[in-house]
Amino acid sequence: MSTVREVTVIPASVPRFSAQNQGHMRKRNVAAYARVSTDKEEQQTSYEAQVDYYTKHIKNNPEWNFVSIYTDEGISATNTKKREGFKRMITDALDGKIDLILTKSVSRFARNTVDTLTTVRKLKEKGVEVFFEKENIYTLDSKGELLITIMSSLAQEESRSMSENIQWGKRKSFADGKVTLPYAKFLGYEKGPDGLPQIVESQAIIVRRIYNEFLEGKTPHDIAKRLTAENIPTPGGFTNWRPHTIQSILTNEKYKGDAILQKTFTVDFLNKKKKINEGEVPQYYIENSHPAIIEPCVFEMVKEEFARRNEGGQMVCVSILSGRIVCGDCGGFYGRKMWHAGSKYANTVWHCNNKFQKRKYCTTPTLKEDSIKKAFVSAFNHIIDNKAEIFANYDLALDAITDDTAFRTQVVDIDKQCGEIETLIEKLIAANARTQLQQDEYNQSYNDYVGRYDALQKRRVELLSEIAKCAAKRVRVSAFLEELKKHNKPLADFDERIWQATLNHMKVMHDGKAIFVFRDGTELPWTVECEVRKYAKKNRS
């Protein structure tokens, strides 16, 4: 005879943790989380409305104890690293201070699937429930985690799509030539009433000083040291200037009224990590985008000066002549030396920095500084004597040697193609927003369009670079001719400004002859007094 098993049901003594269960024996400790992702006024209103709504909603429920409203303003939800209010709420919940967390939606909680599920599971282990109002999801329900996984994935996809839209909008803005500056940390400009940069003259004086002192031979370290000593504020409002700040100012094209856009880009929409654009995405060069503090010819001179100093390695520019005198034997720079310092025979001379290195000496002569300056004065006076012929030649040739018509025609064609691709991308994004397309097909189409667009923009940047070179050459030649116009009679003495403004470099040959290469490309052979060469040989014997 079989034995009938007897089963006794032991009823639950504590109701399941879920907001829809109304039979709790004790009040639940309830908090809410509110967040908006921007600081704009309309979002600020939404943020305040969320806080007010949840405060009243919790306090008006007799079965709930109000804990707090945890908030984050102007912070994206793609990850939780910078969301201090969110992190504080989770810590309090895990410490047993909160039983239930109310929030507007999964997307307000997080747009990252991993973050959402990880956080919810941590809370679940401690018996803490989250209620997503919009989706009507209670995380302690049996179907809660499945729904959260689905909703979080959709939220993450929404964030990715939004990121693509934002990036596309930025690229379109860049292509349209819209320029903005980080005014709070940018010396010399402020945002004008028309939204474009306008010059702040009190700061522009400092910028011009930095450029002038660099061209006079000072290093970024020297300039930074002087500005710090004079308590002049940095772009960020500090008083301690650093060499890299000076170098940044000297190499920023915005000071000549142009702008390179998309110097950095976002690598991953989830972690918002940015990196310097090294060709991964197109850049955009906008000419005459805003008023210039520095003349284009001065900016080009600084650019060339940097190139000269970099070619010379760790060259210390102690003089206006530094980096301008080149050895005809080895291509190295001449450096300044003091002979018989402290005596009545003291003399400043220049010779190749590599002259006495290794076993094979450079045969180029050591020259007195006075001889170099004297030779330049006589060579420039020769240019003055022949300036009528120089002007006549450039009247015929300048337009031809700086013609960029072919490059500009190609840019127009590229812009037309890019416009067509822009329309296709906008239609694709709009279609995906209206109805959920097959994401593999959507991604393939989107990436194909963007790939074609980026390839065209890369070529556009190359063409703009060629156009910029033509413009730079015209600037150099025009600046040289403008300087030449000022001189109707020979120079009596060496002038540092004229040396800097007109000369590219001076090449010294082994026989004491020199070639003065001027900024317009003119090469003028000249003889330098070589008494020092014999004197140097005598001293070495």
d(CA 141, CA 211): 68
- 246: how many CB neighbours lie within 10 A of its CB? 23
* Averaged pLDDT, 435-446: 76
- Greater model confidence, 95 or 338: 95
Domain residue extents for the chain: 28-166, 183-294, 325-395+487-540
| Six token digits for residue 453 | 């667009």
Who contacts 121 (Cβ-Cβ below 8 Å, separation ≥6)? Answer: 145
Strands 28-36 and 100-103: parallel
- 530 has a pLDDT exceeding 70: no
- Greater model confidence, 204 or 397: 204
- Greater model confidence, 72 or 250: 250
- Quick one: DSSP state of residue 191? E
Q: What is the pLDDT of residue 90?
A: 92
Mind listing the pLDDT tens digit for each residue in 119-146? 887 888 888 998 988 878 788 876 666 6
- Greater model confidence, 213 or 284: 213
CB contact burial 434-448 (16+ within 10 A = b; e otherwise)? eeeeeeeebeebbee
Mind listing the pLDDT tens digit for each residue in 171-193? 555 455 556 677 888 899 988 88
| Six token digits for residue 526 | 């000249």
- 40 has a pLDDT exceeding 60: no
Q: 5: pLDDT confidence band, cut at 50, 70 and 90?
A: low
- 214 has a pLDDT exceeding 60: yes
Q: What is the pLDDT of residue 250?
A: 93
Amino acid (1-letter code) at residue 22: Q
CATH class, domain 28-166, is alpha beta
Q: What's CA 466's distance to the chain center, in Å?
A: 22
d(CA 524, CA 513): 11
Residues across the chain: 541
CATH class, domain 183-294, is alpha beta
DSSP 475-538: HHHHHHHHHHHT-SS--SS--HHHHHHHEEEEEE-TTSEEEEEETTS-EEEEE---HHHHHHHH
d(CA 409, CA 350): 49
- Supply the pTM of this predicted model: 0.48
CA atoms within 13 A on the CB side of 481: 15
H/E stretch holding 150 reads helix 144-175
Q: 532: pLDDT confidence band, cut at 50, 70 and 90?
A: very low
Q: What is the pLDDT of residue 241?
A: 93
- 471 has a pLDDT exceeding 70: yes
Q: Is 3 left (phi over 0), alpha (psi -120 to 50) or beta?
A: beta
Q: Is 43 left (phi over 0), alpha (psi -120 to 50) or beta?
A: alpha
Q: What is the pLDDT of residue 539?
A: 40
Mind listing the pLDDT tens digit for each residue in 476-502? 788 788 888 888 889 999 988 788 778
Mind listing the pLDDT tens digit for each residue in 216-252? 667 888 899 989 999 999 998 888 999 999 999 998 8
| Backbone dihedral angles phi then psi of residue 343, each to the nearest 5 degrees | -110, 175
- 269 has a pLDDT exceeding 50: no
* Averaged pLDDT, 425-454: 78
